[in-house]
Structure 1
Amino acid sequence: MNRTCCAALIGCLVFVLAGNAPAAANPPDLILHNGKIVTADKVFSVVAAIAVRGGRIVATGADAEVLAGKGDATKVVDLRGKMVLPGLIDSHVHPRAAMFEFDHDVPDMESIADVLAYVRDRAAKLGDGKWISVQQVFITRLKEQRYPARAELDQAAPKNPVLFSTGPDASLNSLALKLSDIDENWKVTDGGPGYAEKDPATGELTGILRGCMRYVKSQSSSKKATEDDIYSRTLALFRDYNANGITAVADRSADPSAVTRYTKMRDTGDLPVRMSLSFNIATIGELSAIQDRIRKLADHPLRKDDPMLKLVGIKTFLDGGMLTGSAYMRKPWGVSKIYSITDPDYRGVLLIPKERVYPLVRAAIETGLQFTAHSVGDGAVEILIDAYEQAAKDLGVEKVRATRPCITHSNFMGDDLVRRMPALGIVADIQPVWLYLDTRTLQAQFGYDRLRYFQPLKSLFDAGAIAGGGSDHMQKIGAMRAVNHYDPFLGMWVTVSRKARWHDGQLHPEEALSREQMIRFYTNNNAQIIFRDHQIGSLEAGKLADMIVVDRNLLTCPEDDIRETKVLQTYLGGKLVYDRK
């Protein structure tokens, strides 16, 4: 019997033994009542009261039924009509974001002028010769919608090497190119992807590197953090997740040092969010050695079913990004001033050669690990689905389904790709904030019609595929300061409105979710994606009591009010971990 069935059976037994309310002889620790409690169960029940004992839900139902079981020591909270939701889940974060401003505060940058002002300021403070790094300021989010030019970076900091990096792509000034030994004759030699872009008219380097940021010989100019610094700032980030209603996350690029840190947090009782981990696996090098690294993870101590910390699989990077002009597409991008694309046949960058994808997927599935890959363009999505289908032929459909094969980002799709996912249990980890932040640029590049299947959420739901909401939070602490924003209520609003910043109208409103679906997107569905649906994702007897109280009725409030939602209290296993005073 699988774990999901066991959890369901336990929940049923609780009700059978206790009736509609907890037994008076074994009263609950906590009762919330007089509310609108969205259980997010199969029929999406909304009830008035919920009871918790020992960190788990023991009953939900009408006020009188649940309150009848209270004891002398039961804490009773009158919700005064407020709404309760299951604790929200973010299926894609990078907690190292907590360290981004450890050295100094980094301003928001919305224009080339902002970028250059920051570079000049850093040059003045650091002195000549020190590296200046501008990270993850995406050109799609700059008003000019382009990379800062090599000459502009030269002028802003002529005596400093400057790196403007956005994922696998980057723009460098002349000194940074020189120190990295990159000139007009330079070529990639490690067997991996990428190239240095040249001006087609002059043959000179533009300063833009595509898919090969690994060759930049940058050096940190920031002060070095101690492990205590990292530990405390990571905890501060996790507590801010709690303040935004988030009780579980997936670290989608975990490394050994982070795992050691999370384990210490768990063992000392500090960890305030449930964590599922995808280990980052580098894919350049001997294929058999990479497969061996994947297989060894199957024996990792965190593979056991721990309610707070669990290794669920591996993460790789299959293509570039839509934010940098390197996502791998089925059709050419098209010549573009925005992305500095001059080749009419350019389709983006594949970071893993197509013939190497299936061996990596198979190694993960054979050992029961979830495989996911950063796959933004529809060309990359198609390659990954092809690999999952090949695994099903070779290993059996149920073997594949058991690992919940994942596609991370899955932004550009097609109806044919959506329809292929449910049969193999392929799940999608999607970031609605990208629609909010980047639609203006994407529509300028591709046009409205080509974006028909950009984040096709309703199509995925209608097809029976599991899609869940992540943020891809990469930098800064603060839900709306972060790159990318990790406010889940902004994400919910985007899923139902299909509206974007600096853009009039809606992006294909036929792909908008209903209110019920938007809640499932951040609860049940994400719980399935990160292998915690037997524990969390709905408020049902037998499950862990992760829940939040919010300040408005998300099922009936005006649509634009959804994004303004505030969390009043957050409970993790029935314990209050955030209280908005």
Structure 2
Amino acid sequence: MKLALLFTALASVSLPAAPALILHHGKVVTVDKNFSIAEAVAINADGRIEAVGSNDDVLKLKGQGSQLIDLGGKTLLPGLMDSHVHPGAAMIEFDHEIPTMETIAEVLAYLSERVKVSKPGDLISVRQIFITRLEEKRYPTREELDRIAPNNPVVFSTGPDSMLNSLALKLGGYSRDYKVPAGSAGKMEVDVLGEPTGLLRSLSHNVKAPTSTKSPTAEDTYRRTVELFHDYNSVGLTTVADRDSSLKQCELYQKMLAKGDLTVRMRPSPGIPSMSLWPACEKAIDEVIQHPLTKEDPMLQIIGTKVYLDGGMLTGSSWMLEPWGISEAYGITDAQYRGVQKIPADRLKQLVEKVTDSGLQFTAHSVGDAAVQLLIDTYEAVDAQRPGSVRAARSSVTHCNFMHPDSIAKAAKLGVCIDLQPIWLHMDGRTLTGHFGSERMSRFQPLRACFDQKVIVGGGSDHMQKIGSFRSINPYNPWLGMWTSITRKARKLDQPVHAENALTREEAIRLYTSNNAFLLKSEKNTGSLEPGKLADIILLDRDPLTCPIDDLVQTQVLKTWLGGKLVFEKK
């Protein structure tokens, strides 16, 4: 009788379930606080890490249903994160493929081909061919655009700025008598006779004309976005932040999640119309604050809002502490021109207060050192009234390309995070160095100073066009981003751009893992390989800590797991 009761008692005790998956005999780069290296990882059926350690210790946990994968000495890393993407990039080539353009001749050839397949009067446009990346380092001129398209309006847009041909200027109402709308920070450039050159700075063009390009259906958008996210997985990305998202776009992500098609963890920051009348602006912020997706969720969570404080570094309109300097390439003729400030200081403070009080992350596109300084000074003023609020909300600066040393020190003191794109140094360092000179470029992406002062910097791409990690604008290959942050090498430039600002390999990995996890409010679940965290893991074909540094760019991801589920495997 007693023996039977004992058996009954033992049967009622639920033994711990064996791991669903064990990855063993590898080099497990955990990216924990101490950057520990282990040999094996056990993952439970809920997609979380059960154990990390030696092969012997982890393999002891195996059970009858455990899947075992021998890594053969290969390297595991936490899934990588991109702090700044625009998934609408998936739709840019829906109508037709857009070639890579690196010269004015290639730009004009592409536009000429578009004229051939369009009707007279149709709008011909191209976006985000940055002049810093063209051999001539300039905009195509109004006359050049007229010559290839005398009967079509042409708009060459890059960042917030555009070059228009004569017909586009006429249709948009841009004559010598045009007045920039009150409250706009935009500018229409004119020649010595007062005639428009065609260049509009931070002005949304008003060219009304039909277009012959086809429009995608909702199903097309869904399908191509899924395709893009799978490509993100193929380079090791398991979490991305949609900066300047919309609540409508969030509905798409909700649908993908419900159907099991969302293969990256999504952290949207909806854009806010910062210069609307305050009641409208406040209403837009409230809609974000009250949205159900602001609740903590590891898969899909609205983490904050985004606005635009200045223009573009690649287009000659970022707001700088010192004048840009006269430049034919950027079309700058005013020796005192310092770029474009889009939001006055008093409105910026209103925005920061409103968003920060809600606990959401405020961030602003701030490229130039003047814009960065104003934003961080505004955070300082808000934090003085509400101590600790800026740090608690993970308040951020987006892009942050030029930073005065004082801004770095204040960011460290306040707990301000930075969303930075190392790839810009590689793609644009040559042109920027040629324009600003070596001394001013010492403030360009000062990663070493930020890391030394414990400022949390997350690595992003600002991916905005095309699918393909190297061919995209901007390239979203995180290995290229890591390599750039380590070497500070710019293409077509024979020496690094201030090598003293370089990171170590460990720091470069943190840029795309643990740092981004903190920036994106997901450090409880992701960013490192530790027990209890979600099993977002990538298997690599080489060891990024020891491979020849110039081979790092060619790193291939062999497998990507999201929450223990395989979402990519290299064929």
Query: How would you bin the TM-score normalised by the shorter chain?
Result: over 0.9
Aligned partner of 1:426 in structure 2 is 416
Aligned partner of 2:242 in structure 1 is 251
C-alpha separation in 1, matches of 2:324 and 2:29: 43
Measured after TM superposition, the shift of residue 291 of structure 1 is: 2.2
Secondary structure of 1:221's partner?
A: coil
Measured after TM superposition, the shift of residue 129 of structure 1 is: 0.9
Establish whether residue 324 from structure 1 lines up as the match of residue 315 from structure 2: yes
Measured after TM superposition, the shift of residue 214 of structure 1 is: 4.4
C-alpha separation in 2, matches of 1:508 and 1:541: 39
Establish whether residue 184 from structure 1 lines up as the match of residue 176 from structure 2: yes
- List aligned pairs for 1:208-287, cutoff 5 A: 208-217=199-208, 219-287=210-278
Measured after TM superposition, the shift of residue 74 of structure 1 is: 0.7
Aligned partner of 1:160 in structure 2 is 152
- Contact 2:273/2:284, CA 8 A, preserved across alignment: no
Q: 1:53-86: CA deviations, max 9, x gaps?
A: 0200000000000001101111111111100000
Q: 1:218-240: CA deviations, max 9, x gaps?
A: 55432111000000000000000
Secondary structure of 1:133's partner?
A: strand
Secondary structure of 2:356's partner?
A: helix
- Please point out which of 362, 371, 377 is paired with 1:380: 371
Aligned partner of 2:139 in structure 1 is 147
- Contact 2:119/2:212, CA 8 A, preserved across alignment: no
Aligned partner of 1:399 in structure 2 is 389
Q: 1:257-312: CA deviations, max 9, x gaps?
A: 21110000111111000001100111222123212321332111101111210011
1:238 maps to amino acid? F
Aligned partner of 1:542 in structure 2 is 532
C-alpha separation in 2, matches of 1:302 and 1:219: 37
Measured after TM superposition, the shift of residue 355 of structure 1 is: 2.4
- Contact 2:141/2:198, CA 8 A, preserved across alignment: yes
2:267 maps to amino acid? S
C-alpha separation in 2, matches of 1:519 and 1:216: 45
- Contact 1:498/1:507, CA 8 A, preserved across alignment: yes
Secondary structure of 1:532's partner?
A: coil
Aligned partner of 1:474 in structure 2 is 464
Measured after TM superposition, the shift of residue 190 of structure 1 is: 4.4
Measured after TM superposition, the shift of residue 24 of structure 1 is: 7.4
Measured after TM superposition, the shift of residue 127 of structure 1 is: 2.2
- List aligned pairs for 1:79-118, cutoff 5 A: 79-118=71-110
Q: 1:24-79: CA deviations, max 9, x gaps?
A: 74110000011101000000001000000020000000000000110111111111
- Distance 1:24-1:513 versus aligned 2 partners, 3 A rule: farther
Measured after TM superposition, the shift of residue 424 of structure 1 is: 1.4
- Contact 1:93/1:470, CA 8 A, preserved across alignment: yes
> What runs of 5+ residues in structure 1 fail to find an aligned partner?
1-22
- Contact 1:187/1:195, CA 8 A, preserved across alignment: no
C-alpha separation in 1, matches of 2:492 and 2:164: 28
C-alpha separation in 2, matches of 1:367 and 1:281: 15
Secondary structure of 1:183's partner?
A: coil
2:219 maps to amino acid? D
- Report the count of equivalent residues: 557
> What runs of 5+ residues in structure 2 fail to find an aligned partner?
1-13
C-alpha separation in 2, matches of 1:185 and 1:140: 31
Establish whether residue 175 from structure 1 lines up as the match of residue 167 from structure 2: yes
- Contact 1:24/1:70, CA 8 A, preserved across alignment: no
- List aligned pairs for 1:16-95, cutoff 5 A: 25-53=16-44, 54-95=46-87
Aligned partner of 2:333 in structure 1 is 342
- Contact 2:122/2:209, CA 8 A, preserved across alignment: no
Secondary structure of 2:326's partner?
A: coil
- Please point out which of 497, 505, 512 is paired with 2:487: 497
Measured after TM superposition, the shift of residue 454 of structure 1 is: 0.4
Secondary structure of 1:176's partner?
A: helix
- Contact 2:95/2:213, CA 8 A, preserved across alignment: yes
Aligned partner of 1:137 in structure 2 is 129
1:49 maps to amino acid? A
Measured after TM superposition, the shift of residue 213 of structure 1 is: 2.2
Aligned partner of 2:289 in structure 1 is 298
- Contact 1:439/1:507, CA 8 A, preserved across alignment: yes
- Contact 2:373/2:404, CA 8 A, preserved across alignment: no
TM-score (norm 1): 0.95
C-alpha separation in 1, matches of 2:432 and 2:372: 18
- Contact 1:291/1:359, CA 8 A, preserved across alignment: no
- Please point out which of 561, 574, 578 is paired with 2:551: 561
Secondary structure of 1:576's partner?
A: strand
Establish whether residue 458 from structure 1 lines up as the match of residue 443 from structure 2: no
Measured after TM superposition, the shift of residue 351 of structure 1 is: 1.3
Aligned partner of 1:370 in structure 2 is 361
Stretches of 4+ moved more than 6 A in 1?
A: none
2:198 maps to amino acid? G
2:148 maps to amino acid? A
Measured after TM superposition, the shift of residue 188 of structure 1 is: 1.3
1:460 maps to amino acid? C
Secondary structure of 2:302's partner?
A: strand
1:110 maps to amino acid? E
- Please point out which of 560, 568, 571 is paired with 1:578: 568
- Contact 1:170/1:209, CA 8 A, preserved across alignment: yes
- Contact 1:24/1:71, CA 8 A, preserved across alignment: no
2:160 maps to amino acid? P
C-alpha separation in 2, matches of 1:185 and 1:574: 62
Measured after TM superposition, the shift of residue 202 of structure 1 is: 2.1
C-alpha separation in 2, matches of 1:142 and 1:214: 23
C-alpha separation in 2, matches of 1:268 and 1:122: 38
C-alpha separation in 2, matches of 1:275 and 1:157: 41
Aligned partner of 2:350 in structure 1 is 359
Establish whether residue 122 from structure 1 lines up as the match of residue 141 from structure 2: no
C-alpha separation in 2, matches of 1:492 and 1:41: 18
Measured after TM superposition, the shift of residue 426 of structure 1 is: 0.3
- Contact 2:121/2:210, CA 8 A, preserved across alignment: no
Aligned partner of 1:443 in structure 2 is 433
TM-score (norm 2): 0.96
Secondary structure of 2:49's partner?
A: strand
RMSD: 1.1
